[in-house]
Amino acid sequence: MRRLISPLLLAAVLGTAAFFISTRPEAYSALRGDHALEPTRARDVENGKTLFNAGGCASCHAAPDDESRTKLSGGKPLVTPFGIFNPPNISSDTKDGIGQWTEAQFIRAMREGVSPEGKHYYPAFPYTSYRGLSPDDVADLFAYLKTLPAAEGKAPVHDLAFPYSIRQGVGLWKLLYLSGTVIAPDAKQSLEWNQGHYLVETAGHCAECHSPRNALGAIIADKRFSGGPNPEGKGRAPNLTQDTTGLASWSEDDIVTLLKDGFTPDYDSVGGSMSEVVRNTASLSDQDRQAMAIYLKSLAPIAGEARAPK
């Protein structure tokens, strides 16, 4: 018996050690590169405000009863297949919020998904998209957050099912699904297309809702933008590609109108979580909305689920 147990025990100990070593944030950075780069220019608070709106930070972090959407003491719970996430206080409160954070710590959180204590964040915080924001844009966003009021109160701890409750397991998830490359400009495309690509893929995090995910909650790469379940439970976030189940029949202007007023071409208005998104995109410039439409109209068709009849 003893001869049998010790190799098993040894394997278990080695396996556990391998898990803890390979899932540390340092392991990810060593393998895939460190993306927490330094900003290169002076801070621009106005640009930070635009990114705050484009990024929909208030949708998750603003107190649910706060009409101004600037009291960032923690938002309503996110119910997911893995359990319940409670978006934390990201106000400038020094005790309950992120008032003590340095800019470098904020950039690391947004671009690497790593906390000041060196722990992984769960991708329910869509740093999977925000990581593509330039370090300058992230620094501007941080400067803007600092202008918002400090708000007291801590969000409850997440309520996750095992094994998702083991935070370090996110390290494994990152190794499997978080690419080492962040989005870069495409010289073959127009300036507008590049601006749209940047806004949709980073701050806008549109793919986070509009894509199907695998059992571990990662976006299925070759089905990106082909539609996904509505995170609020009912209905779907439709296909945004040029498929017939997607936006093939929509003009650029139709998309711009939706992002500005929330109206679809058949004079319906979008509901649920998309109406939250429209509150954000409505505050962008016409030029930004146009750029997003140009990018979306360039998405190759990917078949998605047929729409539910109205």
CB-nearer residue toward ligand HEC: 231 or 301: 231
In whole angstroms, the minimum distance from the beta carbon of 184 to ligand HEC comes to 20
In whole angstroms, the minimum distance from the beta carbon of 169 to ligand HEC comes to 12
- Contact in structure between 183 and 201 (CB atoms under 8 Å): yes
Which has the closest alpha carbon to 205: 132, 261, 267, 151?
A: 132
CB-nearer residue toward ligand HEC: 140 or 208: 208
CB-nearer residue toward ligand HEC: 7 or 65: 65
Residue 162 corresponds to which tokens in the numbers above?
Answer: 């095992």
- Contact in structure between 104 and 114 (CB atoms under 8 Å): no
CB-nearer residue toward ligand HEC: 11 or 152: 152
CB-nearer residue toward ligand HEC: 181 or 249: 249
- Contact in structure between 219 and 173 (CB atoms under 8 Å): no
Q: How far apart (Å, rounded) are the C-alpha atoms in residues 227 and 242?
A: 12
Q: What is the CA radius of gyration of the chain?
A: 21
In whole angstroms, the minimum distance from the beta carbon of 5 to ligand HEC comes to 37
In whole angstroms, the minimum distance from the beta carbon of 181 to ligand HEC comes to 20
User: Residues, the chain, total?
Assistant: 310
Q: How far apart (Å, rounded) are the C-alpha atoms in residues 10 and 138?
A: 45
Residues that bind ligand HEC (CB under 6 A): 55-57, 59-61, 78, 85, 87-88, 90, 98, 109, 115, 121-122, 124-126, 130, 141, 200, 204-206, 208-210, 230-231, 235, 237-238, 240, 255, 258, 264, 270-274, 277, 281, 292
In whole angstroms, the minimum distance from the beta carbon of 105 to ligand HEC comes to 9
